[in-house]
Structures are given as structure tokens and as C-alpha cells.
Homo-oligomer: A and B are copies of this chain.
Amino acid sequence: MFCSFVRLAAPIAAALLYIAPITTAFAEEPGLWKVYNETLKGAKYVDLTHTITPNIPVWAGFGKSSFGQAAAGTDLEGYAKKGDTFTYEKHGFNASTYNLATDQLGTQLDPPAHWAPEYAAIDEIPATYAVRPLVVINIEDKVKADAGYHLQVADITGFEEKHGRIPEGSVVFVRSGWYKKWPDPSLSTTRPFPGVSLDALKFLHLERKILFHGHEPLDTDTTPTLEGEHWLMHNGFAQAEGVANLDKVPETGALVAIGYPKFGGGVGGYARYIAICPPDWQYGVTVGSVPEAPLQKFDKPLHFDEKAGMRLR
């Protein structure tokens, strides 16, 4: 945040006064740092998340969301008048505003309170939703033959015959290829789309006791009652929607990092999913191979584009 008035012309104290000559390494790497150094540090990271913009596919029943630039909410003497948009040039910083017509937007984690108010809202999900084994079941070929194909129990048992039993507590994402047209607006209304059958959901939760499943489309199935989502939510299960890049991760052996802000009483979750894949995996970026600190510097500056309704370069 930005809480006092920047005088851009003020001299910045640049002297680094003291650098201690410490070169001690850890005699033994403490706790989980050893695990990180030996395994996660060399992993391949694949983002499974769509970028949210005002123009991504969303259910037509919701209103339109918009992005903006933050403005002064009050008079700030000698700095900004109420309503002035904060700019890099005048104020030294920018901030974003969001008018979000729904929380069912982009890549999501649906808490069961989306349909069932007696179950957990997004801020009531425990901290153990953090990193889990990731299972990817591929129905892309079946969807190519039948655009409305839904994952069946037989697909799961077929997966297990090849790969072994799905681990309890894992996250199971269904790869259908639907995401590849994203963010084509026609995705909002194209029917049929690939889904997950109610029997498959019951099998995954009741027989395999997974943490949650996820799919590429914005709905779980194409039944008139949305029977799969109905069953999940009314039985206290979360689900991921709008998941991307599942063709870039292995079917077994990866982990998934799960992140989302905690909006109080929120019944949807703007989510981030990152697959952490074994070091020899063909896709993904590794720690240190991309600009991290400092982050990437671009030739074109970020600026708010009124036509796009968002900041672009």
C-alpha cells in the first residue's frame, strides 16, 4: 500500500551502510528447507490459471464486470483531490479498482456455500488446502469424438489400471481440452461442453476420498439440474472450475499449489493453481530460469487502455 505523500524529488538514501561478512551455511538444513532444496527447487512449475479480464467467458446470467484505476476517496491536501485518479506521474503509483459482478469468474475454487449456506464459505476452508498430489485424468480424445462427453467411472478405473489407485486427499483435474479456445466469448454459450458425471463425482469423493475435483469448463455438467454440482455443494465438497493447461502436466507425480484470497463470507473463489512437476517434465519453468527478483522489465509501460477496459502494455 501507499500511505503517505510521496515527494518524488526527495533524495533517496542510497548508501548501503553495513554489510556483514557472514558466509556461514546451514550445517544442516532445518525442517522442510531440505525438502525444498532436494525436490521442489528443481521442479517444473506450470500455471493452470486463466488471467481474469473484463472480457473473459462468464455465464450470461451475470452482469458484466469492469476494471478501473483507483482514485482518491477523499481530499488529500497538497496531493490529490477527492476523485482524482492516482497516476504514476503525479502520485508515484497506480492502484486498481474492480467492479466484479460475480465471484464465478475465471479460474475458481467453489466452496460449497455457493449452493449450500450451511457449509463452508471461501474463508472457512482450512489452511490444509495448500499443496496436494495432483491427478490428471485425460478425456480429451473422447471429447474430440463427442463434444458433450462426461467423465465416467470407467474412465477413472481405466486410469487406475494404468497408474494405480488415486491417492486419498488428492486433487483430481479432468483434462478435456475445452480450455484451448479460452478466452473466446462463444465459450459462454457453446453447448454441449465436456463434463463430469454425477457417478464419477461420487466415485471420486466416496470411494477415493479425494480433496476436490476440477474441470476446464465453467460448469460441472450439462444436465438441466446441474446434478453434479448440486450433489457436490449439498454434500459439503468444493470444486475447481476454469482450470487451464492440463495438457501441459503429467497424469501422476505432480503436486498442485492452491491459492485464493479470503473474502469474508464469499461463495466463490478467485483462484490460482500451479502444478509442481518433476524436474524431468517437458513443460514448465524452473526456479531461477526466469526473472523472479528482480521481475521482468518490459519495453512498453503498463497503461490503462479505455477500450480494453484494463491495463495493457
Contacts and interface: CB of A to CB of B under 8 A. Distances in A.
Interface string A172-216: 000000000000000000000000001100110111011110000
A131 B169 contact: no
A73 B64 contact: yes
Contacts of A202: 16
Nearest to A269: B261
A104 B284 CA distance: 30
A154 B303 CA distance: 40
Contact residues on A (Cβ < 8 Å of other chain), bracket: 35 or more
A203 B123 CA distance: 36
A312 B265 contact: yes
Interface in A2-42: 2-8, 10, 12-13, 15-20, 22-27, 30-33, 35-37, 39-41
> Top 10 closest A-B pairs, CB basis?
A259-B259, A31-B253, A236-B294, A265-B311, A63-B73, A30-B253, A261-B270, A20-B157, A117-B301, A120-B295
Contact of A101 (B46, B97, B124): B97
A26 B133 CA distance: 13
A302 B211 contact: no
Nearest to A64: B73
15 contacts: A1-B218, A1-B241, A2-B61, A4-B226, A8-B225, A12-B227, A17-B199, A20-B153, A20-B160, A26-B163, A96-B263, A107-B261, A112-B295, A119-B294, A209-B293
Contacts of A46: 127
A246 interface: no
The secondary structure that dominates the A interface is loop
Nearest to A92: B115
A124 B271 CA distance: 16
Interface string A94-111: 111111111110111011
A16 B228 CA distance: 12
| Copies of this chain, whole number | 2
Nearest to A50: B262
A203 B3 contact: no
Nearest to A95: B102
Given A2-B219, A62-B73, 20 more contacts: A1-B108, A2-B114, A3-B61, A6-B226, A12-B230, A19-B203, A31-B278, A70-B102, A73-B101, A96-B102, A112-B294, A117-B302, A126-B285, A211-B293, A237-B295, A238-B295, A258-B259, A259-B260, A265-B310, A267-B302
A220 to B, nearest CB: 9
Given A3-B59, A126-B285, A259-B258, A51 B264 contact: yes
A229 B60 contact: no
A207 B18 CA distance: 11
B98 A98 contact: yes
A310 B2 CA distance: 26
A208 to B, nearest CB: 10
Contacts of A288: 128, 169
